[in-house]
Structure 1
Amino acid sequence: MLTSRLIGAVTAATFAATLNLSLTAASLAADIVVKHAQGETTLPGVPGKVLVQDWATFDNLQALGVAVAGVPSSNAPSYLAAVIPADALQIGSLFEPDFEGIAAAGADVYFVSARSAAAYPTAKDILPTIDMSLADNADIIGGIKGNLTKLGEIFGLESKATELNAALDAKVAEAKAAVEGKGNALVLVTNAGNVGVYGPDSRVAWIHNQVGIPSAMAEIKDGDHGGDGVSFEFILETNPDWLFVVDRDAGTGESTGAAAALLDNELVNQTKAAQAGHIVYLDPQASYITMHGYTGVLLLLDQVIAGLNG
């Protein structure tokens, strides 16, 4: 009798100790510490209700399968239209968040990036806020993969992030293969009737840096909106094998088709690119609004591949 009582007491004590250790481990594992562009944010567990002030981050979350409760009220890319929840909270424009609405939403995490990064100092005092901005555009593909990995860790979707990153690597490899022997290119951006050249630090720098198509222009001073300004005479003088075009006006919703109309002129039409039908108009919103979004970049890579192989 004494022996069975002793065994029972030891078993109960062991169970209690094991339970306490499990609870302690669970409590220690609950916090998720996220290092990001503007510091470090601690989340008390996997977030449930998510707000996003950046379409690229929304794109990445959708690719991972994470539901988003609040989205920007401006510049929604058409290629994402089918996956934007109809009942999503509208939390302000890309540049001007609705802090009152954000505070009232009762969300678990709020993501900012790029255009909305300036909201971080205010937002972090309202709710856990994470800045997903990339350090630079020199390695956009690597930056997207890094953000997918980070989001995968936050939401417990590491395997999905790994799967998406592998698919992106495969698409880049396909584009690299398409580039072989195809000559050089200029990446043009049109903006309110002006033309500029995008280069190795631009919104679509991956065309040169990761895909590997050489630039026909030796040195490019990338401008945020209009690239390195050039004339039609310069484009003809440079005479690239390919032209890849970003229509900023269409990207921001100011007009559509302006780039094609602008470039349909006597000088540009004499270039090797125009003569061979080697002008590729990139999706304007994917290339200008959601430059760091997963499905947006896949869309752009497919356009580049189709153009090169056409």
Structure 2
Amino acid sequence: MTRLKKWRLVSLAIIGLVMLGACGTSKTSDKKINTSSEKQEVVKVTDSNGKALELASHPKKVVVFDMGALDTIREFGKSDVVVGAPLKTLPSYLSSYKNVESAGGIKEPDMEKINAMQPDLIIISGRQQDMQKELEKIAPTLYLAVDSKKAWESTMTNIETLGTVFDKEDVAKEKVDALNKQREALEKTAKESGKKGLMSLVNEGSLSVFGPESRFGIVYEGFGVLPADETIKPSPHGQEVSYEYVLEKNPDILFVVDRTKAIGGDTSKNNVAENALVKETTAGKEGKVISLTPDVWYLAAGGIESTRIMMEDVETAYK
């Protein structure tokens, strides 16, 4: 074979290898393009304002300000996706979250820190609603709150909404069914007892009371407690009253949320059961001044475990 023919054969082989390599590269490139063009699955939910949202399913990095939502996420076995929360006001029963990053105060989100976390979802409630638009600039923001006019219904709806977001619809249904069963039994007991109750909050000695459709209205409308005073106007902060008022209304059961224990402060004047006038009421005489779990009632309403704890607290009044 002449030297020229050999050179031609070598040249053809080199060209063939180059073309084969180009084809391989083209296939790899096409594969990458196809992969990147795949759309991430989304879920459709409605927030507590009735706003329809489309959120990425299976969020991997979530900042949570609503303590009830933190509770529910843990019940779903998804605690590992929570990267930030307001740790200073973390209820003791949610201490398993104490090692996540601080996202600022419960009323003052730290935008710089949250942005650095690069979350793909932020969950808020009423205390952060004023900051929603700013938070939405960082990541999709889901607003969930307990509606005082339909506290039980909105609580169950929020649990189901989170079940949709975290692909835990079956677990959410199971939990909701169990809570409804517990609630029905409590409501039956409360109504059949005929005992009238008064819901109160004490803060460094100052006492406020709450009626139906108020911040703690779930006691009456959800759990079936008969109100000792049906004239209390709905208010998120309650109606400030004197201890003479408590004696006048003379409740069979006096429920007490100690705000100071929930968030800190001087608790020396908060022992409602030891007040001389309270001792003269039916509740005082029969040992029915019921101290409710403070950080759950004041900070964490709306979660699966917190709702269970709240019902267990109320149940003690009828034992």
TM-score (norm 1): 0.84
> 3-state SS of the aligned residue for 2:195?
coil
Amino acid at match of 1:290: A
1:104 Cα deviation (Å)? 1.4
Unaligned runs of 5+ in 1: 1-22
Per-residue deviation, residues 56-107 of structure 1 (Å, max 9, x unmatched): 21112112222222111321111222x2152x11111111111111111122
Q: Which residue of 1 aligns with 2:54?
A: 42
When residues 75 and 255 of structure 1 are mapped into structure 2, their CA distance, relative to the original with a 3 A threshold, is farther
CA distance in 1 between partners of 2:266 and 2:151 (Å): 27
Q: Which residue of 2 aligns with 1:3?
A: none
1:123 aligns with 2:135: yes
1:78 aligns with 2:92: yes
Alignment match of 1:159 (pick from 152, 156, 170): 170
When residues 44 and 181 of structure 1 are mapped into structure 2, their CA distance, relative to the original with a 3 A threshold, is closer
1:43 Cα deviation (Å)? 2.2
1:111 aligns with 2:128: no
Q: Which has the higher helix share?
A: 2
Alignment match of 1:267 (pick from 273, 277, 293): 277
Work out the number of aligned pairs and report it: 280
Amino acid at match of 2:300: T
> 3-state SS of the aligned residue for 1:212?
coil
1:147 Cα deviation (Å)? 0.7
When residues 308 and 127 of structure 1 are mapped into structure 2, their CA distance, relative to the original with a 3 A threshold, is same
Q: Which residue of 2 aligns with 1:5?
A: none
Q: Which residue of 1 aligns with 2:26?
A: none
Q: Which residue of 2 aligns with 1:12?
A: none
Q: Is the 8 A contact 2:253 2:317 kept in 1?
A: no
1:181 aligns with 2:193: yes
> 3-state SS of the aligned residue for 2:148?
coil
> 3-state SS of the aligned residue for 2:226?
coil
CA distance in 1 between partners of 2:165 and 2:254 (Å): 40
Q: Is the 8 A contact 1:112 1:119 kept in 2?
A: no
Q: Which residue of 2 aligns with 1:11?
A: none
CA distance in 2 between partners of 1:218 and 1:45 (Å): 45
Q: Is the 8 A contact 1:110 1:128 kept in 2?
A: yes
1:209 Cα deviation (Å)? 0.6
Per-residue deviation, residues 31-68 of structure 1 (Å, max 9, x unmatched): 22332135343323321111112212111211222222
CA distance in 2 between partners of 1:292 and 1:251 (Å): 16
CA distance in 1 between partners of 2:164 and 2:295 (Å): 28
Amino acid at match of 1:264: E
Q: Which residue of 1 aligns with 2:310?
A: 300
Q: Is the 8 A contact 2:188 2:224 kept in 1?
A: no
Q: Which residue of 1 aligns with 2:224?
A: 212
CA distance in 1 between partners of 2:276 and 2:267 (Å): 21
Q: Which residue of 2 aligns with 1:139?
A: 150
- Considering only CA atoms, is the larger Rg found in Structure 1 or Structure 2? 2
Q: Which residue of 1 aligns with 2:103?
A: 91
